[in-house]
Amino acid sequence: MNQKTMTRTLADLRKDYTLQGLSETDANPNPFIQFQIWFQQALAAQLPEPNAMTIATATPDGKPTARMVLLKDFDERGFVFFTNYNSQKGQQIAKNPQAALVFWWAELERQVRITGHVEKVSEQESDEYFQSRPFDSRLGAWASHQSEVIGSREELEQRFQQLQAKYNNQEVPRPPYWGGFRVIPTEIEFWQGRPSRLHDRLLYTRLQDGSWKIQRLSP
């Protein structure tokens, strides 16, 4: 396919969203409950990796970066993922503890956007989750100096093999630089695709007293 055909193909790629709507009367007044309802529906629909989400972070001077991570826990405190605290995202969060999350559940024609500030989860929460991971994933956390330049694939595999020999199926401690972050939302937007691009968008904003205001946004 040449570039011109590709451009035309891209311009012609479009899908009308027709599955369902989201009304103010249907939406739960508590956005965490609303998220739980949609997440359960994503699970029931057997979507591939429904807990995969994009997280955007930024340097203190506002240069944004984004990547996928996996949601591993959520409750009224916020949305938790695990990573290497020394990674690019970890360093950005340390200096500028703000983030935006995006879920896209294509088969349900739904998007959820979350913005808020970020805190580390407790050491205990990180330990508990780390110990629940498979042996090789625990070693992977030690083997990978995430986001640093590495000389070759072999270097990584050698480090991994050395760790396999060292720990030999014994208990692997959590690396001090590895753990969870919690995104504590100030805004959560639920987006349901609708025909003719007249989508439903309900934005929940956290008020000073901890309650949530719901507003409909223009699509």
Candidate list 52, 102, 203, 214; residue touching ligand FMN; CB under 6 A:
52
Contact 37, 105 (CB under 8 A): no
Helix (H) or strand (E) holding 213: strand 212-216
Contact 89, 76 (CB under 8 A): no
Helix (H) or strand (E) holding 116: strand 110-120
Helix (H) or strand (E) holding 101: strand 98-105
Give catalytic status of residue 197 as yes or no: yes
96 binding ligand FMN? (CB under 6 A): no
106 binding ligand FMN? (CB under 6 A): no
Q: How far apart are CA 119 and CA 123, in angstroms?
A: 12
- Closer to ligand FMN by Cβ: residue 145 or 206: 145
Min dist CB 48 to ligand FMN, Å, is 9
Residues 128-147 binding ligand FMN (CB under 6 A) are 146-147
89 binding ligand FMN? (CB under 6 A): yes
- Closer to ligand FMN by Cβ: residue 115 or 146: 146
Q: How far apart are the first and last CA of the chain?
A: 33
Candidate list 6, 19, 43, 68; residue touching ligand FMN; CB under 6 A:
68
- Closer to ligand FMN by Cβ: residue 89 or 110: 89
Q: How far apart are CA 183 and CA 92, in angstroms?
A: 14
Active site residues: 197
Residues contributing to the site for ligand FMN (CB under 6 A): 49, 52, 65, 67-70, 81-84, 87-89, 146-147
